[in-house]
C-alpha cells in the first residue's frame, strides 16, 4: 500500500486564514536543511481588506511567560523571517516549489497561496528540558513555529482571533558512516605501591540509536596493592545551555552498580550493558528531550551535531553523551575513586526516503482544532492542538 499523503491543517478562530503543510519535521543534514513550504487558504470576505503574512520563527524559551517582570524577557527570538502572501507580491505559480504545494493549490482553488522559507545553517534543533512533576508553565526549550496572520500591515497590532500557529520541528538523524569504536584507558599509581592499576574501557561502536543497548567492555589489571571494592558504570547526558549562561546539566540516565570487586594482583574483564531510555527517567527534572509536537511522545534528546564554524553561543541547548566507569578503591585513609569517560553519539536512524511518485494521489487532511479549555495549565494557548483526520473532499472550499 502506498504511503498516505497527509496534510496538516489549522485555521484561525475568525476563519480568515488557514495553514496547510505536508510535513512538520524538517531535517538538518549539517550542510543543508530541508526548506519549509506550505499553502495558506484565505477567506477574502473575512479578511475585509487586511493583508496576510506568514512567519517562520525559532524561539528559545527559558522561563514562564508570566515571569516576565522588570523588563526581563524569559524568551528570545533566535530567528524570524516574514513573508507577505496576500495580496501576492509575485505570480502565484512562481511561488510553488514542491509537488505538494501544487496539489494543494489545485485542490483549494484560487484563494490559496504558497509560502516558502529556507532555514539558515546556524540554528539549533528542537530540544527541551524536561520539567519536574509539579512545575507549571512552559518548559525551557528551543521551538520552531509557523504563524499566519491577517493585519493591515506587517507591523500592525495582530488580533489573536486572526492568527494561526503551527509548531514544527528541526531534527537531525544519524550520519551514514560509523566512527571508530571509542576507547579510553588510564594508569593509576598509588603511594606505597610498586605497581600501578591499569583500566581500559571500550565501547562496541561510536554511534547508537535510541533504544539500543550499549556494551561497555571494561578491562581492569590491578597490579597495585589496593583493593577495588566496586565498579559503577553509567550513561551521563550532558546538556549545555549555551545561549544565556553556558550552564551544563549532567544527568545520569542509566546506571549499573555492579558490586564487582577486584583484589590486589587480580584482573577483571567484563561487558556491562546499559540502556538509556526516557521511560526510566520521566519524573526527573532537567533531562534534555527531543522537541515534540503536542499529543506526541518523545525520547531522550539526540546528540547535537554542529557545522564547523557555527558559533555555539546561538545554538540554545547542546547535548552530548558519555559512558562513565568509576572504580571505588579501598584504603586505610578511606575510599578513593578512579574514573574514565568515554563519549559516544545517540541519535535516530535516518528514515527511508519515500519518493513522491510512490505517494497516494489523494490528500488526507489532519486538522488541528483549538481546545479553548479553562482552568487547565497551558489551556488557552494558541498552539493547543487536537488532531482529527478527514478525507480530502472535506477540505474543498465552500461555494458562496
Q: Assign 69 a pLDDT band (cuts: 50, 70, 90).
A: very low
pLDDT at 358 over 70: no
Report CA-CA distances (Å) from 197 to 218, 227, 257, 335, 340. 13, 10, 20, 15, 13
The overall average pLDDT reported for the chain is 81
Other Cβ atoms less than 10 A from the Cβ of 76: the count is 14
pLDDT at 120 over 70: yes
Selected residue with higher pLDDT from 56 and 383: 56
Q: Residue range 234-248: average pLDDT?
A: 81
The label of the residue with cell 583493593 reads 227
pLDDT at 135 over 90: no
Q: Residue range 268-281: average pLDDT?
A: 93
Sketch the domain layout of the chain as residue ranges: 5-173+351-367, 183-347
pLDDT at 66 over 50: no
pLDDT at 393 over 70: no
pLDDT at 172 over 60: yes
pLDDT at 72: 52
pLDDT at 170 over 60: yes
pLDDT at 52 over 80: yes
CATH topology of domain 5-173+351-367: Immunoglobulin-like (2.60.40)
Q: Which of 40, 44, 43 minimizes the C-alpha distance to 19?
A: 40
Q: How many CA atoms lie within 13 A of 378 on its CB side?
A: 12
Q: Strand 127-129 to strand 141-151: parallel, antiparallel, or no bridges (unpaired)?
A: antiparallel
Q: Which of 195, 263, 199 minimizes the C-alpha distance to 229?
A: 263
- Quote the cell numbers at residue 239: 546538556
Q: Which of 288, 14, 9 minimizes the C-alpha distance to 160?
A: 14
Give the tens place of pLDDT for each residue, 179-204: 899 999 999 988 888 899 999 999 99
Domain boundaries 183-347, corresponding CATH code: 2.60.40.640
pLDDT at 342: 96
- Quote the cell numbers at residue 249: 546539566
Q: Residue range 22-50: average pLDDT?
A: 87
Give the tens place of pLDDT for each residue, 210-224: 999 999 999 999 999
Q: pTM score, two decimals?
A: 0.80
Characterise 295 by phi-psi region: left (phi > 0), alpha (psi -120 to 50), beta (else).
Answer: left
- Quote the cell numbers at residue 215: 556494551
Among positive and negative, which fits the CA dihedral 383, 388, 390, 396? negative
pLDDT above 90 covers a percentage of the chain that reads 36
Q: Assign 364 a pLDDT band (cuts: 50, 70, 90).
A: confident
- Quote the cell numbers at residue 345: 553519539
pLDDT at 267 over 70: yes
Amino acid at each position: 500500500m502506498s504511503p498516505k499523503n497527509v496534510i496538516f491543517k489549522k485555521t484561525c478562530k475568525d476563519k480568515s486564514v488557514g495553514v496547510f503543510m505536508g510535513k512538520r519535521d524538517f531535517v538538518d543534514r549539517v550542510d543543508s536543511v530541508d526548506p519549509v513550504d506550505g499553502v495558506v487558504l484565505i477567506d477574502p470576505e473575512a479578511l475585509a481588506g487586511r493583508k496576510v503574512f506568514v512567519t517562520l520563527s525559532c524561539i528559545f524559551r527559558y522561563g514562564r511567560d508570566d515571569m516576565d517582570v522588570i523588563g526581563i524577557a524569559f524568551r528570545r527570538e533566535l530567528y524570524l523571517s516574514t513573508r507577505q502572501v496576500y495580496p501576492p507580491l509575485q505570480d502565484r505559480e512562481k511561488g510553488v516549489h514542491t509537488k505538494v504545494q501544487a496539489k494543494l493549490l489545485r485542490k483549494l482553488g484560487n484563494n490559496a497561496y504558497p509560502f516558502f522559507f529556507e532555514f539558515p545553517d546556524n540554528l539549533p534543533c528542537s530540544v527541551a528540558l524536561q520539567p519536574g512533576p509539579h512545575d507549571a508553565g512552559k518548559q525551557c526549550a528551543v521551538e520552531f513555529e509557523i504563524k499566519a496572520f491577517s493585519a493591515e500591515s506587517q507591523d500592525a497590532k495582530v488580533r489573536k482571533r486572526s492568527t494561526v500557529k503551527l509548531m514544527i520541528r528541526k531534527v537531525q538523524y544519524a550520519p551514514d558512516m560509523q566512527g571508530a569504536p571509542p576507547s579510553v584507558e588510564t594508569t593509576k599509581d598509588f603511594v606505597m605501591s610498586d605497581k600501578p592499576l591499569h583500566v581500559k574501557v571500550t565501547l562496541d561502536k561510536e554511534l547508537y540509536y535510541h533504544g539500543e543497548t550499549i556494551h561497555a567492555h571494561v578491562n581492569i589489571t590491578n597490579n597495585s596493592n589496593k583493593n577495588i571494592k566496586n565498579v559503577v558504570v553509567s550513561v551521563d547526558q550532558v546538556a549545555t545551555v549555551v545561549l544565556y549562561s553556558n550552564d551544563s546539566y549532567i544527568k545520569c540516565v542509566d546506571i549499573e552498580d555492579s558490586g564487582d570487586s577486584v583484589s590486589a594482583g587480580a584482573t577483571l574483564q567484563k561487558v556491562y550493558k546499559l540502556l538509556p531510555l526516557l521511560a526510566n527517567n520521566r519524573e526527573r527534572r532537567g533531562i534534555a528531550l527531543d522537541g515534540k509536537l503536542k499529543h506526541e511522545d518523545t525520547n531522550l534528546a539526540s546528540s547535537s551535531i554542529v557545522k564547523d564554524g557555527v558559533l555555539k553561543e546561538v545554538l540554545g541547548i547542546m547535548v552530548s553523551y558519555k559512558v562513565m566507569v568509576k572504580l571505588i578503591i579501598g584504603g586505610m585513609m578511606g575510599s578513593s575513586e578512579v574514573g574514565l569517560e568515554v563519549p559516544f553519539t545517540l541519535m535516530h536512524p535516518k528514515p527511508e526516503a519515500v519518493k513522491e511518485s510512490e505517494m497516494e494521489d489523494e490528500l488526507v487532511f489532519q486538522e488541528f482544532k483549538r481546545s479553548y479549555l479553562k482552568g487547565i495549565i497551558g489551556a488557552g494557548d494558541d498552539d493547543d492542538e487536537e488532531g482529527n483526520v478527514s478525507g480530502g473532499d472535506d477540505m474543498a472550499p465552500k461555494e458562496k
